[in-house]
Chain A
Amino acid sequence: MNEPESPSLLELRGVSKSYGGVAALSKVDFSTHKASIHAVLGENGAGKSTLIKIISGVIAPDEGTVLVDGKPASFDSPQAANAAGIVSVFQELSVLPDLSVADNISITRPPTRLGLIDHREQRRRAEELLARVGCEDVNPRARVRDLPLSRRQMVEIAKALGRDPKLLILDEATSALTAADVDRVYKILHRLRDEGMALLYISHRMHEIEELADTISVFRNGQFIRTFAKGACSDEEIVQMMIGRDVSNVYPPKPVRETPPEPELEVKSIGWTDRLFDISFKVGKGEIVGLGGLDGQGQREILLALFGVLRNVTGTIAIEGKEGLVSSPVAATRPSKSMALIPEDRKTEGLMLPMSIADNITLTALSWLSRRFVIDRTAENNAVEAMVEKLKIKVGSTNDPVATLSGGNQQKVVIAKWLLTGARILLLNDPTRGIDVGTKEEIYRLLRELADAGTSILLYSTDYDELIGCCDRVLILYGGRIVRTLEGDAITETNIVASSFNLPLDEAGAPAAETAS
């Protein structure tokens, strides 16, 4: 235990919260101090979100007390927490798309003149705050809807800073940022800490925490496990604390092939507007091919183009030798194409949140579960149970709404839904984003099992470790083109990073000295 000398800015004593009998937090004691970056780690369902929501006044605890500067405080709304100097930047963006950047930044307590909003002063303030986060290129008059995702997130951070926080909470705040922005955000966060601000930081990316945090707290199953200074525990120990069991090998072994597998999917010179240029590659039967590179270089667009979501795609593809672009997602799922796409955002593109787990799982497979337009209930139940078992989805009843599941289990439902179609080609768009370590591991194993059974898999991931651990080959994209294909031992962190920035490799294709842990 490493207890800093400074007095605690925020303290939680015996805080508990349950939802419908399930304890999300139980008897948590937790404190954070001025002038520190405090990372909160834990699997999904560990209670991190609940903790943050209680601190920022979104929900009230069932029992226990929250103390700010040693005095008991109870926040009944985000405004109340703001007033006490606690400001959050949430994982799900809280920007208002139809309002201007300046409006967003000064959404509460705007500068006024004669009782009306002073737009000029508001713009000036926005410019100042944007400059502070290094986003001078954003016009305060622009509508947030028209900005790219990474800029929106920066606006969000500028907005939070505009409220003069004493405690700034960042919940997965960097997940939407580009690499250059992440660097900038790190610098800002370090500076804010040096100025005396307390920062509470939540991320699933281990290397971010290593780079940023001074203090780390681990949560597991709604309980506070331990707080320690950075460097006091190794990565393995931390992972151990989070999952409470040994992780001997996160990634299943890759098969060794003598000859390349016969191609299942052949992509021939695909292009789309100014986002994709001359994309050609093959995915063999039973192969896992990764799409890598910096975020937003066209990886998502490749998956969407293959799945028939984009219009005006040029070039062609061949599946088992049969040529022709896919015209729509419905066409993509037909037996002749037999594709499945696990989308990026499970809440909006992957699931019908209010519908039951069973209905979600069988949604895409209804055509073969139906007999003369009527759904065969027995077949449906059998299929659902088989999937729940196969993917180890933790459910009370399969008739519960899917919204009641944790993030990791929701993602499993999305995967189950597509597996049920028996797709031969599986496209995955960052499937483990925002998912806990344990579930990630299960997903990796599942992917390898599917590949071994002959499924061809195209995996886009923003996590380099994942590409290294899972893929037989990795295609690196840069500016909408494939700039390099890494294979076998050449798939290393150094090579991926170098290729992502379109830099030459030390020795072309050769294994680099550094290997990923």
Chain B
Amino acid sequence: MNNLKMRLSHNTGALIAFTLFIILYVFYSSLHPRGFTSDLFVQNSNEAMALILVAMAQTLVVILGGIDLSVGSLMTMVNAVASEVVIGSGWEIFFGIVFCMIVGLCGGLLNGVIIVYGRLQPIVVTLATGAVFTGIALLIRPRPGGEVDGDLSWVATSALSELPATYGWWTDPPGWFSLIAGIPMPLVILAVIVCGIWIPYRNSEIGRGTYAIGSNEAAAYMSGVRINRSKLAAYALSGLFAGLAGLYFAVQTGSGNADPIQAGTYTLNSIAAVVIGGASLMGGTGGVIGTIFGVMVLRSITFCFRVVDTDSVVGFLANPLLQPMFEGLILVIAVTLGAARAFSVKNRLNMFG
């Protein structure tokens, strides 16, 4: 039991985010005119998925102790690329997807190489590379458009039941399938990414190096952690996640859109989500699971604004023009609350370390 308690206490951030999400989502779906339905859940998952992936990209850099201002732009660039290549025959689509992932990975690796070998601050480097990514995105897609395979779009944004139905795997689904048929497809994709990429990474020597570096880089070096290798891997993986976000966004919208404002919004929200998910901006703590709940909290807040009665006192909350302001405010509040533990510190010297 003692061990369980310890495990819980090491993941307080993620647990708080999870609880907060449940409360907000129950509140939202109870206010929703149609209440909680599978369709609503699928729709909400679609809306959260791209941000979840971008925030996962951000998480890796935050664990290292940095901030990545290019994740939104990298996502936008891959989004533009995807609108050109994810179309055609089955194999063409497959290689298009792989190509998008490689582009994302290389974008992240580029950040990593500049930061590691140029010995520069991540925040400055990613501010610059972010502008480069946006520029390339605009070059590929000067105006919104392009096309993404329709079947893929449909499957990736519907419930799991549409997967065998669309591709005609079976006409008569087996009995067990009905139990999971209602799960939104984005969640299935997310589970595959988390189990297939994140968990192995987290449990590898390289992945632990990421935490070690964020915790105390000098000590990690002295302990014989391969700093450069771990950093490059973290940035490359971050790029891969950002690429997957761009890819999913293209699949979801069926097109590409090189929108610099949207890139900025995604970057901003990714930082907020990581903080809400329990990571410290000082580095060394946090994780993708917490971040996922962080995004869900963030999105739930936006959903709640949507169902506000526009005639009531708080009706102004529903105004879409105010959304960027709220997103900024939420980030400030999240970061402030993250720092609130300083108030419970009895020895003021501990506030600085």
Neighbour of A98 across the interface among B200, B214, B226, B349, CB < 8 A: B214
- The docked-state distance in angstroms from the alpha carbon of A79 to that of B228 is 13
Specify which chain B residues have a CB less than 8 angstroms from the CB of A109 in the assembled complex.
205
What's the Cα separation between A222 and B40 when bound, in Å? 73
B222 interface residue per 8 A CB criterion: yes
CB-CB nearest in chain A for B3: A141
Known: A98-B211, A141-B7. A312 touches B346 (CB 8 A): yes
- When the two chains form their complex, are residues B349 and A349 in contact, meaning their CB atoms are under 8 A apart? yes
Please measure, in the bound complex, the distance between the C-alpha atom of A97 and the C-alpha atom of B219, giving whole angstroms.
Answer: 10
* B42 located at the interface, meaning its Cβ lies under 8 Å from any Cβ of chain A in the complex: no
- Residue ID in chain B nearest A112 by CB atoms: B205
- Given A78-B224, A110-B205, A116-B204: A97 and B284 interface contact (C-beta under 8 Å): yes
A225 at the interface (CB under 8 A from B): no
0 or 1 for each of A43-63: is its CB under 8 Å from B? (1 = yes)? 000000000000000100000
Chain A CB within 8 A of B221 CB: yes
Which one of A25-33, A88-96, A184-192, A445-453 contacts B? A88-96
Please give me the residue from chain A that is nearest to B226 by CB atom: A79
A90 to B221, CA, bound (A): 12
CA distance A273 to B344 in the complex (A): 13
Choose from A98, A142, A273 the contact partner of B284 (Cβ within 8 Å).
A98
List residues of chain B with CB within 8 A of the CB of A99: 208, 211-212, 215, 284
How far is B7's CA from A142's CA once the two chains are assembled, in angstroms?
Answer: 9
Contact with B along A190-203 (1 / 0, CB 8 A): 00000000000000
Residue from the list B205, B214, B226, B348 in contact with A309, Cβ < 8 A: B348
List chain A residues, Cβ under 8 A from B220: 96, 107
List B contacts of A110 (CB < 8 A): 205, 208
Least CB distance, A89 to chain B, in whole angstroms: 10
Q: Is the CB of B222 within 8 A of A98?
A: no
Contact across chains for A94 and B223 when beta carbons are under 8 A apart: yes
Residue A115 at the B interface, CB < 8 A?
A: yes
* Complexed CA–CA distance, A108 and B224 (Å): 6
Q: Is the CB of A117 within 8 A of B348?
A: no
Determine if A310 is an interface residue (Cβ-Cβ < 8 Å). yes
Known A99-B215, A141-B6, A142-B6; contact A310-B347, beta-carbon cutoff 8 A: yes
Which A residues touch B218, using CB under 8 A?
92, 94
Indicate whether B143 reaches chain A with its CB closer than 8 angstroms.
no
**B118 is an interface residue with CB less than 8 A from chain A:** no
Whether a CB of chain A sits under 8 angstroms from the CB of B59 is no
- By a CB distance below 8 angstroms, the chain A residues around B3 are 139, 141
Q: Determine the chain A residues whose CB is within 8 A of the CB of B216 once the complex forms.
A: 94-97
CB < 8 Å neighbour of B224 from A79, A116, A272, A328: A79
- Report whether B6 and A107 are in contact in the complex, using a CB–CB cutoff of 8 Å: no
Contact with B along A309-323 (1 / 0, CB 8 A): 111100000000000
Contacts of A349 in B (CB 8 A): 349
The distance in angstroms between the C-alpha atoms of A119 and B10, with both chains bound, is: 16
* A309 contact set on B, CB distance < 8 A: 347-349
Asked whether, in the complex, the Cβ of A90 is within 8 Å of the Cβ of B226, the reply is no
Residue from B10, B208, B225, B346 in contact with A143 in the complex, judged by beta carbons closer than 8 Å: B10
B168 at the interface (CB under 8 A from A): no
Using Cβ atoms and an 8 Å threshold, which residues of chain A touch B349?
A: 304, 309, 349
> Is A348 interfacial (CB 8 A cutoff)?
yes
The number of residues on chain A lying at the interface, defined by a beta carbon within 8 Å of a beta carbon of chain B, is 42
Residues from chain B with Cβ under 8 Å of A272 in the complex: 346
Interface string of A96-132 (1 = CB under 8 A from B): 1111000110011110100111010000000000000
**Distance between Cα atoms of A516 and B175 in the complex (Å):** 87
Contact among A97, A98, A116, A310 for B346, CB-based, below 8 A? A310
- Bound together, the chains give a CA A328 to CA B215 distance in angstroms of 29
Any chain B CB within 8 A of the CB of A485?
Answer: no
> Is B70 part of the contact surface with A, judged by Cβ < 8 Å?
no
| Contact partners of A90 in chain B: CB under 8 A | 222
Task: Give the shortest distance, in Å, between A85 (CB) and chain B (any CB).
Answer: 13
Question: Does B203 count as interface, using CB distance less than 8 angstroms?
Answer: yes
For B222, list chain A residues within 8 Å (CB). 58, 78, 88, 90, 94
Residue from A97, A141, A310 in contact with B215 in the complex, judged by beta carbons closer than 8 Å: A97
Cα of A384 to Cα of B89 in the assembled complex, Å: 78
Please name the residue on chain A nearest to B348 by beta carbon: A309
Asked if A107 and B212 make an inter-chain contact with CB atoms under 8 angstroms apart, the answer reads yes
Once the chains bind, are A96 and B347 in contact (CB under 8 Å)?
A: no
- Within 2-40 of B, Cβ neighbours of A (below 8 Å) are at 2-3, 6-7, 10
B196 proximal to A (CB < 8 A): no
The answer to whether B353 has its CB under 8 Å from any CB of chain A is yes
Q: Contact: B212 with A310, CB < 8 Å?
A: no
Judging by beta carbons under 8 Å apart, are A116 and B284 in contact? no
B211 near A78: Cβ-Cβ < 8 Å: no
Q: How far is the CB of B205 from chain A (nearest CB, A)?
A: 6
Task: Say yes or no: B348 contacts A310, CB within 8 Å.
Answer: yes
A159 interfacial contact with B, CB 8 Å: yes
B285 at the interface (CB under 8 A from A): yes
**Interface residues as binary, B227-271 with A (CB distance below 8 Å gives 1, 0 otherwise):** 000000000000000000000000000000000000000000000
Query: When chains A and B are docked, how far (Å) is the Cα of A231 from the Cα of B6?
Result: 50
- Distance in Å: Cβ of A309 to nearest Cβ of chain B: 5
Among A77, A82, A108, max chain B CB count under 10 A is at A108
* Beta-carbon contact of B203 and A117 below 8 Å: yes
Assess whether B223 is in contact with A103, with CB atoms less than 8 Å apart. no
Q: In the complex, what distance in Å separates the CA atom of A94 from the CA atom of B222? A: 6
B212 to chain A minimum Cβ distance, whole angstroms, is: 5
CA distance A301 to B348 in the complex (A): 11
Q: How far is the CA of A93 from the CA of B222 in the complex (A)?
A: 10
Complex: chain A residue closest to B200, CB-CB: A116
A79 CB to closest chain B CB (Å) equals 4
Q: What is the chain B residue whose CB lies nearest that of A82?
A: B224
- Say whether A98 contacts B203, CB under 8 Å: no
Q: Indicate which residue in B6, B203, B285 contacts A139 across the interface (CB closer than 8 Å).
A: B6
- Asked if residues A107 and B204 are in contact (CB atoms below 8 Å), the reply is no
- What are the residues of chain A within 8 A of B10 when measuring CB–CB? 143
Q: Give the most central of A93, A107, A159, A310: most B CB within 10 Å.
A: A107
Evaluate contact between B203 and A116: CB separation under 8 angstroms.
yes
Interface string of B338-353 (1 = CB under 8 A from A): 0000000111110011
Q: Which residues of B contact A97 (CB under 8 A)?
A: 215-216, 284
Q: Which A residues are CB-close (under 8 A) to B347?
A: 301, 304, 309-311
Query: Which residues of chain B have C-beta atoms less than 8 A from A58's C-beta?
Result: 222
State the Cβ distance, A305 to closest chain B Cβ, in Å. 10
Taking a contact as CB atoms under 8 Å apart, the answer to whether A115 and B215 are in contact is no
- Chain A window 450-489, contacts with chain B (Cβ cutoff 8 Å), 1 for yes, 0 for no: 0000000000000000000000000000000000000000
> How far, in whole Å, are A316 and B345 apart by their CA atoms in the complex?
21
**Whole-angstrom CA separation of A309 from B218 in the bound complex:** 28
**Which residues of B lie under 8 Å from residue A301 when comparing CB positions?**
347
* Chain B residues, Cβ within 8 Å of A88: 222
B window 65-105: CB within 8 A of A:
none
- Report the minimum CB–CB distance from B222 to chain A (whole Å): 4
Known contacts A93-B219, A141-B6, then 5 further A-B pairs from the complex at CB < 8 Å, ordered by chain A residue: A99-B215, A108-B225, A110-B208, A115-B204, A142-B6
The 8 closest A-B pairs by CB, nearest first: A98-B284, A98-B215, A94-B222, A94-B219, A108-B224, A96-B215, A116-B203, A79-B224
Residues of A within 8 A of B (CB): 58, 77-79, 82, 88, 90, 92-99, 103-104, 107-110, 112, 115-117, 119, 139, 141-143, 159, 272-273, 301, 304, 309-312, 328, 348-349
- Give 27 A-B contacts (CB < 8 Å), ordered by A residue: A78-B221, A78-B222, A79-B226, A90-B222, A94-B216, A95-B216, A96-B211, A96-B212, A98-B211, A98-B215, A99-B212, A103-B208, A103-B211, A107-B212, A107-B224, A109-B205, A110-B205, A116-B203, A117-B205, A117-B208, A141-B3, A141-B6, A141-B7, A272-B346, A311-B345, A311-B346, A328-B348
